[in-house]
Structure 1
Amino acid sequence: MLPEYDFSRELFSQYELELSESQYKKLDIYAEFLVAYNNNVNLTAITDPKEILIKHFLDSILLVRYCDIPLGSSLIDVGTGAGFPSVPLKIYRSDLKITLLDSLNKRIYFLEQLCDKLEIEAEFIHRRAEDFSKKSEYREKFDFSCARAVANMSLLSELCIPFVKVGGYFISMKGPTENVSEGENAIKILGGELTDICGYELEGEERRIVKVKKISQTPTKYPRNSSQLKKKTL
């Protein structure tokens, strides 16, 4: 399914990443299952093997180059969709403890089957982030939350920062166009601080990784409910 191992390994090395044969084999299983499942359930518009390797797998794994993620860190992927970036990260860094959160049960069902095929451990949560982060056993319990989504930074921050423990980080994967600074007020209200924006190119396309450090507890009234979130951003 994926381009051959030597090509994939060389591609990763161009971004200062090593790719073992066992990691490659799991990514190959992932790609094949994703494309087959996508025939019945819409998970991704990207189905070309080389594009899956670059735009889904390499892009997800590049987080480890730009973010210091300590051994054994816990990470919740908010609105994970088809598992990006957390499942490729788990394949690349088996020490990570990942929680996959999505509002659509059909995606969670796909992820359960996928992780079973890959023989990797994960926690699967079918809930909306604005509701689930109110639960005491998940609120401010994670070292990292992440999102690879098109929503604006203010909204993503309100959905993701409440999951992060003080001292942890919310990481947002962004394209080149959004004015991320417009989310700074929300970040501050939610107990965060914008610490870094890492820009890089992925095969000629601009990407950014936005890092927000949790410096104080999120006020209990956040996140607001879905109707309030739709009406007005912080």
Structure 2
Amino acid sequence: MTFAEILAEKGAEAGLSFTPLQLEQFSRYYELLVETNKVMNLTAITEPEEVAVKHMVDSLLAYEAEMAGKTLADVGTGAGFPGVPLKIYCPELKVTLIDSLGKRLRFLQQVIEELGVKGIRCEHLRAEDAGRDKKHREKYDYVTARAVARLSVLSEYCLPLAKKGGQFIALKGSKFAEEITEGEAAVKILGGKILSAEPVKLPGLDDGRAIIKIAKIKSTPAQYPRKAGTPEKQPLGAK
């Protein structure tokens, strides 16, 4: 089976359907990912079915119909997950990919150009610096992050970027409940409120993933995010 056929099949199992153009774009994205991964460490997952399920479908579980026409910042985007799949799936979504590593962003710029998608840009910034930059602070309807840090740390990276009334969506693994308990205090300090933690199941897998949705109910205090490196060393609300 081709990558497009695998993605169409696995996507259908997860309740997703794709247009021919989207399948073509996802296929090219996969080809570029595997090709570039030979010379740059982008992902440990390269088999077609694993990429389709664990990267593409997993990213799309964060999709909401309300995203059309809205702005989204993907923090610590890495190889582009979930930002690029969300953009392919929802062309009207305006996406900013934020990462601290320039070579990853050069790869993503190539992906953007080859896929011909508009309304998506790359920003070479640490999350803490983005959160203090007037161009990005409290400017986004949605902020996403996947496999970046524990929720107590991740909230300080992401919530400062979400506008009041916006939402931070964290794609999490099996320890999500523990992370919520540990991170609730940080979320509150930063102006957020945990709305839900929805367990999600990927086709053929049962590894306890979840989507955590956090509403931005008030502005983040001016002292946050703290300087680069501090959130990780001294997580907010840590006992």
Distance 1:21 1:100 in 2: 25
- Decide whether aligned partners of structure 1 residues 150 and 127 sit closer, same or farther in structure 2, where only a CA change above 3 A counts: closer
Identity of counterpart residues, as a percentage? 44
Q: 2:226 aligns with which of 224, 227, 230?
A: 224
What are the Cα deviations for residues 71-91 of structure 1, in whole angstroms up to 9, with x where unaligned?
201000000000000101111
Task: Report the equivalent of 2:83.
Answer: 86
Task: Report the equivalent of 1:194.
Answer: 194
Distance 1:191 1:84 in 2: 25
Distance 1:181 1:82 in 2: 29
What are the Cα deviations for residues 97-126 of structure 1, in whole angstroms up to 9, with x where unaligned?
000000000001000011000001211101
> Mind listing any 5+ residue stretches in structure 2 that lack a counterpart?
none
TM-score by length of 2: 0.93
Following superposition of structure 1 onto structure 2, how do residues 1-234 of structure 1 map, counting pairs within 5 Å?
2-5=2-5, 7-64=6-63, 67-121=64-118, 122-178=120-176, 179=178, 180-202=180-202, 203-205=204-206, 206-234=208-236
Distance 1:92 1:27 in 2: 9
Distance 1:25 1:75 in 2: 23
Displacement of 1:21: 1.6
Distance 1:185 1:4 in 2: 43
- Decide whether aligned partners of structure 1 residues 14 and 170 sit closer, same or farther in structure 2, where only a CA change above 3 A counts: same
Contact 2:10-2:52 within 8 A present in 1 as well = no
Displacement of 1:68: 4.9
Contact 2:130-2:161 within 8 A present in 1 as well = no
Displacement of 1:150: 4.3
Distance 1:44 1:132 in 2: 24
- Decide whether aligned partners of structure 1 residues 2 and 34 sit closer, same or farther in structure 2, where only a CA change above 3 A counts: farther
Contact 2:142-2:166 within 8 A present in 1 as well = yes
Displacement of 1:2: 4.3
Contact 1:2-1:50 within 8 A present in 2 as well = no
Which SS does the other structure have where 2:32 is aligned?
helix
Greater Cα offset, 76-85 or 122-131: 122-131
CA-based RMSD of the aligned residues comes to 1.4
Which SS does the other structure have where 1:63 is aligned?
coil
Contact 1:150-1:174 within 8 A present in 2 as well = no
Distance 1:97 1:226 in 2: 26
- Decide whether aligned partners of structure 1 residues 50 and 227 sit closer, same or farther in structure 2, where only a CA change above 3 A counts: closer
What are the Cα deviations for residues 119-158 of structure 1, in whole angstroms up to 9, with x where unaligned?
0121110110101211112110100000002411010000
Distance 2:7 2:82 in 1: 18
Q: How many residues align?
A: 231
Distance 2:148 2:80 in 1: 15
Displacement of 1:14: 1.6
